Amino acid sequence: MFIAAGLVFTGALAAQERPNILIILADDLGFSDLGCYGGEIETPVLNRMAAEGLRMTQMYNSSRSCPSRANLLTGLYPHQTGLGHMDGNRPAWPRGYSGFRSNSDNVTIAEVLRDAGYFTAMAGKLHLGKKTDPIARGFQEYYGLLGGFDSMWDPSAYTRLPAGRPLREYADGEFYATNVITDYAIDFIQQAESEGKPLFLYLAYNAPHFPLHAPKEVIDKYMDTYRQGWDKIRDQRWKRIVDLGLLQGNPDMSPRGVVPESLFMDETYALPAWDSLSEAQQTDLARRMAIFAAMVDIMDQNIGRVLDALQKNGELDNTFIIFLSDNGACAEWHEFGFDGKTGTSYITHTGSDLDRMGSSETYIHYGTGWANVGCTPFTLYKHYSHEGGISTPCIIRWGDHVKNRGGIDHQPAQFADLMSTCCELAGTKYPEQYRGRKILPTAGVSILPIVAGKKMPERCIYNEHEGNRMVRKGDWKLVSANFRGDEWELYNIRKDRTEQHNLIGKHPKRAAKLEKAYFEWADRSDVLYFPKVWNTYNKNRQKDFKVYKDK
């Protein structure tokens, strides 16, 4: 059932005309990892979605898993929910960093849409804190990973809610998380169909986040590709990005990146050239990236299964689908990645150990060298507010409602916009109060004008995580990285998306206006003036913050 084009942006929709809504979130996927964003990984389903829909090039996440997920689900900046840092419960920390506030001054998309008559379900990674119950926050059905990361091979790490719901059974060795999360997602699609309700499905894969796990046969097909090394692969991606027209202006590709020296990324050193590595190191590292590629490949195949299920129900073109990633590629914590759950050791695998990589017996990551490829052509990675940390591939598919099908849109937007977008799609309003609780005003706006080929109003977009800060308005972005302390950088993003030409010396008044806007936002959003605080905290491993606000 289709929506008349004139109804989409002009008012509330009749219940039978409301579209299904599917949000697909990948985990630690870099801007250029998909084929339709310049990558070499096989992603035919997402490429087809891009051809049938719209690619956005300047959709911003919140640079790390928990903050981005809070931002997406509540329509608030993460600090406004307590998730300015990560998902732990930290009552001694300042309000914006103390842990997710459930049943407080925020509401989720699932809560709003459930009350609007939608069937609401989630399959995948929640990561909003151990005390956050997805059922209590509006999802009628849930299957997935409540925490941040775990084995892709171990069914005991995954949870079905509400308690007592039957679990699917899998033979020994058959369980693989991406496949199983999709199995439940399809179950939820069928359940919504049987109940005759429009569907809101939040499908949050934990792929391709570490630990890197995938079947050997899929890993093997990528080995020859990645033996070329990260320098050649990055150059190839850059050429395709230019050819695809994914960037405005005529920017330079950022140089080979830096490596975070410590767990907390407060110092850096240069990333080595691929040709400087030994043959054994190159083989091990090629294998790591091949596993990552296999995880993305398998995720793409499973998204195809979801689209097929919607097609069989006659609902594919009546479903607003948006695909995103929660942050930039993950550089943790060494150029060669790590082995083991502590993230502090690295092993160069050789001989028969190479074939074991990616199995349930291993727990590995691919490291900064390949993260630098994932963020091509941008600067820095996950954690940071530079473009490499906050830029997500973003694909929207919605049948004939997308005006510029197969096109590219360069307007800036943010995860907080999904709340307003979903409310408009559902013909409902974002609430001022919810079940007796006063709700903070949303930080976002609907992006449906972009779908309709229209121009969005200019506004400020903000981010802060671990002292990495930014404010963006129009073409201009003010940004700083924690390892550079309090030093602001100013870029014209339209001309210099890769942030290679700092213009703060040429435009001090413009920088001052953006800085003023940043601190006004920080003061009203529970955001600390962070660089000194963050570095002091990490170096001393203190239990509490010493708060500096000496603006």
551: burial class by Cβ within 10 Å (0-12, 13-18, 19+)? exposed
Contact 386, 380 (CB under 8 A): yes
Assigned token pair, 20: 């299904």
Please state the domain extents for the chain: 24-540
Query: What DSSP state is assigned to residue 437?
Result: E
pLDDT tens digits for the chain (551 residues)? 223 233 333 334 444 489 999 999 999 999 999 999 999 999 999 999 999 999 999 999 999 999 999 999 999 999 999 999 988 888 888 899 999 998 899 999 999 999 999 999 999 999 999 889 999 999 999 999 999 999 999 999 999 999 999 999 999 999 999 999 999 999 999 999 999 999 999 999 999 999 999 999 999 999 999 999 999 999 999 999 999 999 999 999 999 998 865 544 455 788 999 999 999 999 999 999 999 999 999 999 999 999 999 999 999 999 999 999 999 999 988 899 999 887 778 899 999 999 999 999 999 999 999 999 999 999 999 999 999 999 999 999 999 999 999 999 999 999 999 999 999 999 999 999 999 999 999 999 999 999 999 999 999 999 999 999 999 999 999 999 988 877 999 999 999 999 999 999 999 999 999 999 999 999 999 998 765 555 554 444 333 433 333 33
Q: Is 364 helix (H, G, I), strand (E, B) or coil?
A: strand
Q: Let me know: does 502 contact 489? Beta carbons within 8 Å.
A: yes
Instruction: Residues 24-540: name the CATH superfamily.
Output: Alkaline Phosphatase, subunit A (3.40.720.10)
What's the rounded Cα separation, in Å, for the pair 323 and 474?
24
Residue closest to 314 by CA, chosen among 19, 7, 4: 19
- Lookup: tokens for 218: 């899929």
Q: How far is CA 204 from CA 65, 145, 153, 406, 408, in A?
A: 11, 9, 17, 24, 24
**Pairing, β 468-473 against β 476-480:** antiparallel
CA pair distance 332, 381, nearest whole angstrom: 9
Cis geometry, peptide bond prior to residue 162 (ω within 30 degrees of 0): yes
DSSP secondary structure letter of residue 465: E
Phi, psi of 375 (to 5 degrees): -90, 5
pTM recorded for the entire structure: 0.94
Q: Minimal CA–CA distance to 296: which of 43, 544, 101?
A: 43
Q: pLDDT at position 550, please?
A: 34
Residue 91 has a pLDDT of: 85
Are the CB atoms for 118 and 199 separated by under 8 Å? yes
Specify the DSSP class assigned to residue 36.
G
- Nearest CA-CA partner of 158 in 111, 199, 205: 205
List Cβ neighbours of 499 (8 Å cut-off, separation of 6 or more).
254, 378, 379, 386, 387, 477, 479, 489, 491, 493
d(CA 247, CA 378): 11
User: CB-based burial of residue 198 (10 Å sphere; 0-12 exposed, 13-18 middle, 19+ buried)?
Assistant: buried
């920088």: which residue's tokens?
511
- Structure confidence at residue 483 (pLDDT): 83
Amino acid 261: pLDDT? 59
Strand partners, 203: 24, 123
